[in-house]
Amino acid sequence: MLQPHQDGTNRTTDISFKPFIDSYDFNSQQGLTRQISTRAFRTACIKAHISSIARSNWNFFWSLSLNLVHRNVIYRFLTHTIPTKRLLHYFEIAESPLCPICGNEENAVHLLFLCSSKASIWKAIIFEFLWPTVSIGDIIQACSSLDFENIKYVSKSYTTAHMVVLVTLGNIWRAQVRMIFHSTPFIWIDVVQQIKNELLQLHAQTEIHKQL
């Protein structure tokens, strides 16, 4: 049998595995990864969340006359960037992932819709402004798709369903911020009254603009 030639020196080839190992080092941002900015990363994540929303619904949303709070809250909801206890706890910013009002785990849907106090607000608003058959689930679906067609009927002629929903979200968020940063008690009945007052104020502003 043929044997490989041996020169008696027992010499080995000098091979470095460092480039291969470095390719798995995510801290070096080389090899399997490439260096990107945090803005580019956030943009990629946002596109993944909002890509399922129809362009016509986006056009409708951007055409609305909204203040910064109204627009910001639902946009954060759509892009999964509401600073909930669950999210803050994941990043070790909050000590607990639990809702400070009811003690359940707080994700975005819970914070804005399903916490017992928030659910009471929505039920009161549905009773006051929307069609009786509308559920909180219907409103969540409308907000998730920016499609308000299925909840479009209102009982008050001076407003619209989408404005009722957006104003409600904005006031829930304001009350939540006051509770967190100023230790103001979250009293859902007060929030309902604030929503009613703001909708009337918006109507009055619209009527003034019509006369100009």
Helices 161-182 and 68-78 meet at what angle, rounded to 10? 90
Residue 7 backbone phi and psi in degrees, to 5 = -100, 0
Which helix H or strand E contains 50, and what residues bound it?
helix 38-50
Collect all residues with Cβ–Cβ distance below 8 Å to 111 and sequence separation of at least 6: 82, 84, 85, 99, 118, 176
pLDDT at position 170 is 98
166, 192 Cβ separation under 8 angstroms: no
CA atoms within 13 A of residue 76's CA, in its CB half-sphere? 20
pLDDT tens readout for residues 74-88? 999 999 999 999 999
pTM listed for this prediction: 0.77
143, 165 Cβ separation under 8 angstroms: yes
Residue in the structure block whose two tokens are 């399997």: 32
Below-70 pLDDT ranges, the chain: 1-50
pLDDT at position 43 is 56
Residue in the structure block whose two tokens are 């929030």: 191
pLDDT at position 210 is 82
* CA–CA gap between residue 129 and residue 122 (Å, rounded): 10
Token pair recorded at residue 60: 């409708």
